[in-house]
Structure 1
């Protein structure tokens, strides 16, 4: 073990005997009391010394072996200690790729803050490289989401869309002006490959699978508890993968028509519900940005639940929705560039949180912000009892199980 204090967390002395690691309340930790010798020892935790050498130098500072063990245990429990060498063999391979690591170093540093265990940040980055995400839509939102996911280390990012890129599809971080006139999926695939920090990982069949290759088919989110529908890389439409590719970890639904996000068609989502594939909606309609819900099939409200709940609140909703879907559309939908960029960034962040094993705030919830004030608001998308997805029944069973559990009692 070569322990090091997580460099992503800034240090400051709160007083003569207390050190604070981290600036913001979400991640700040105070450690004390810390005497002069212990403070000097903390400076030695830079990842260049193994435990035997650390104990020798601690002895020279007048610190006992027992004191050092207790200090290291406290730092580890507080999530302040890192050790990139402890991240596992897959992470070791990534760590030896200097060019890729130079690109990903800020991402790994961020992951080290939210992953408390030593080597957790690098381990999660290595895991991202083995994941496969599909983005449905190559407009101002979808193409930017795909670019960010690829740049953040997701090994396989596919983009599905039809038609050819138009001038109004161009966006900073999305499709470039040179893509106008090209097939949208081909242009988006090139964007994904250009955004990747390095070549994609080898496929399970032994070939290579570069990201985007379209030749083939203030608090951290809560952890998934046992018995819930948890984010897993083996949930996918094609559970065995295709052409040696891993199964889908997530589908990001970002169609160029924002109505398909604000009121997603139930039929489109039916195969994802049936296969248990998590999917996250994102887009812009008129002057409103929408992120979510993240749907965990069988566990959270889906497109069908959303449609039924709206009809319960507004009996005229189905009539109007049918008109909007079948009516003549304008040639160019309203999609503010800055709003689309904000939606894409938030969507990618929530997708990455999910892929890294957390349940972000969009899980079973939708976030909306309207121009010009951009006040982000969330609305729960709960399971509906009449929806065929079965999430309402699962929620009822979970509540019944909770009520049936024996309660702890305290002796008076």
Structure 2
């Protein structure tokens, strides 16, 4: 073990014997009482010394071995210690790729703040490289989401869309002006490769041979589908049948898009556990009996020539959706789980709407929620509503 204080958390003395790690309330931790010798010892925790050397240098400061071990235990329990060397083999492979790590250091530092265990940030970054995410849509929102996910270390990012890139698809962080006229899927694949911190990792098969590219038999399973079509109606009122195969296969999926100057992120659907697109449509019909009639007209009618998709709003939606997706891939349930977030121009006041399971939906989430209530456990939706 080569312990180091997490460098991402700034330190300051709150008084003569109390140290605060971190600036913001979300992640700040205070440690005390800390005497002068212990404060000097904290400066030695920079990842260059193993425990034997730390014990030796502590003795020079008149600190006992027991005092050092107790201090290290407290720092570990508080989530303040890091040790990248303990992150495992996958992380070791990542750390040896200097060109990749140079790009990912800010991301690893961020992960180290939210992952309390030593080596947690590097371990999570290595795990991202083995994941596969599919983004459905290569417009202003979808292409930017794919770019961010790839740049954040997700090893396999696929983008599905048809047609050719139009001028209105171009966005900073998304498809470039040079892609206009090119097939959207081809341009999106190039964007993903250009955004990645390094070549996509190859997975070893059962026979030790390297697996092929996405689409081959040896590709990793889908960790998440991000639904970000250019037609914002397909996000605001998604067609339930489209999500049927994802519900059946248990594939988590997240909706994100812009419609009529309104940004939408969520819900993140966990099949069998949270409300789905079918639940959303049924709930709306319960509140507004005329909704199905109007929705049929909107879906079948002629669309306007130019969608109302403000570039700043599209970029904000893409960034928020990508951040939620990464939080889920890293093992958390972000606030869009079973919840839709909306913000409309010009005020951009983000508001949330829980999308609970509907008893009449065939997805089965309502039955699962009822079983959880019967057993005394809280379903995911009830937990997130707080």
TM-score, L = length of structure 2: 0.96
Paired position in structure 2 for 1:112: 112
Task: Give the match for residue 397 of structure 1.
Answer: 371
1:279 correspondence with 2:253? yes
Question: What is the rounded CA distance, in whole Å, between the counterparts of 2:377 and 2:352 in structure 1?
Answer: 28
Q: Which residue of 1 aligns with 2:173?
A: 173
Aligned to 1:28: 28
Cα contact 2:260–2:308 (8 A) shared by 1:
yes
Once the two structures are TM-superposed, the CA of residue 403 in structure 1 deviates from its matched residue by: 7.4
Alignment RMSD (CA, Å): 1.1
Contact 2:211 2:218 in 1 (8 A): no
- Given the superposition, is the C-alpha separation of residues 275 and 11 from structure 1 closer, same or farther in structure 2, using an over 3 Å criterion? same
Which residue of the partner structure matches residue 304 of structure 2? 330
For 2:180 and 2:217, locate their aligned partners in 1 and report how far apart those are by CA, in whole Å.
Answer: 30
What residue is the counterpart of 1:270 in the other structure? Answer: 244
Partner of 2:332: 358
Matches within 5 A, 1:340-359: 340-359=314-333
Dislocated runs of 4+, deviation >6 Å = none
The aligned residue for residue 382 of structure 2 is none
Structure-2 separation of matches of 1:19 and 1:106? 24
Distance in 2 of aligned mates of 1:328 and 1:391: 34
Shift of 1:108: 0.1
Residue 290 of structure 1 pairs with residue 264 of structure 2 = yes
Preserved CA contact (<8 Å) 2:111 2:120:
yes
For structure 1, the residue ranges without an aligned partner over 5 or more in a row are: 218-241, 405-412
| CA distance in 1 between partners of 2:295 and 2:203 (Å) | 43
Measured after TM superposition, the shift of residue 334 of structure 1 is: 1.1
SS for the counterpart of 2:313 is helix
2 CA distance for matches of 1:95 and 1:397?
A: 45
Partner of 1:157: 157
1: distance between equivalents of 2:90 and 2:171? 35
- Kindly indicate whether the alpha-carbon contact (under 8 Å) linking 1:151 and 1:195 is maintained by their aligned counterparts in 2: yes
CA distance, structure 1, for counterparts of residue 302 and residue 93 of structure 2: 53
Other-structure match for 1:125: 125
Instruction: Output one character per residue of 1:2-54: Cα deviation in whole Å (capped at 9) or x when no partner.
Output: 00000000000000000000001010000000000000000000000000000
- How far 1:204 sits from its partner (Å)? 3.6
Q: Secondary structure in 2 aligned to 1:249?
A: strand
Which blocks of at least 5 consecutive residues in structure 2 are unaligned? 379-386
Post-superposition Cα deviations, 1:157-183, rounded to whole Å, max 9, x if no partner, equal 000000000010000000000001111
**Structure 1 residue 333, shift from structure 2 partner:** 1.0
Q: Deviations over 1:53-78 (max 9, x none)?
A: 00000000000000000000000000
Write the distance in 2 (CA, Å) between the matches of 1:203 and 1:102.
23
Give how far 1:207 is off.
Answer: 3.7
CA distance in 2, matches of 1:312, 1:391: 18
Q: Supply the distance in 2 between the matched residues of 1:403 and 1:255 (Cα, whole angstroms).
A: 36
| Contact persistence 2:235–2:255 (CA under 8 A) | yes
Count matched residues.
Answer: 375
1:182 paired to 2:182: yes
Residues 194-226 of structure 1 deviation map (CA, whole Å, 9 limit, x = unaligned): 0000011113443466xxx6xx53xxxxxxxxx
CA displacement, residues 93-144 of structure 1 (integer Å, 9 cap, x when unaligned): 0001111000000000000000000000000000000000000000000000
Question: CA–CA distance in 2 between the matches of 1:402 and 1:375?
Answer: 36
Is the CA contact (8 Å cut-off) linking 2:275 and 2:357 kept in structure 1?
Answer: yes
Q: Say if 2:230 is the partner of 1:256.
A: yes
Alpha-carbon shift at residue 330 of structure 1 (Å) = 1.3
Contact 1:280 1:293 in 2 (8 A): yes
Q: Supply the distance in 1 between the matched residues of 2:217 and 2:172 (Cα, whole angstroms).
A: 33
Are the counterparts in 2 of residues 204 and 245 from structure 1 also a CA contact under 8 Å?
A: no
Question: 1: distance between equivalents of 2:183 and 2:304?
Answer: 21
Structure 2: distance between partners of 1:63 and 1:291? 53
Any idea what the Cα deviations from partners look like across 1:273-305, whole Å, max 9, x if unmatched? 000000000000011000000000000000000
CA–CA distance in structure 1, aligned partners of residues 186 and 63 of structure 2: 62
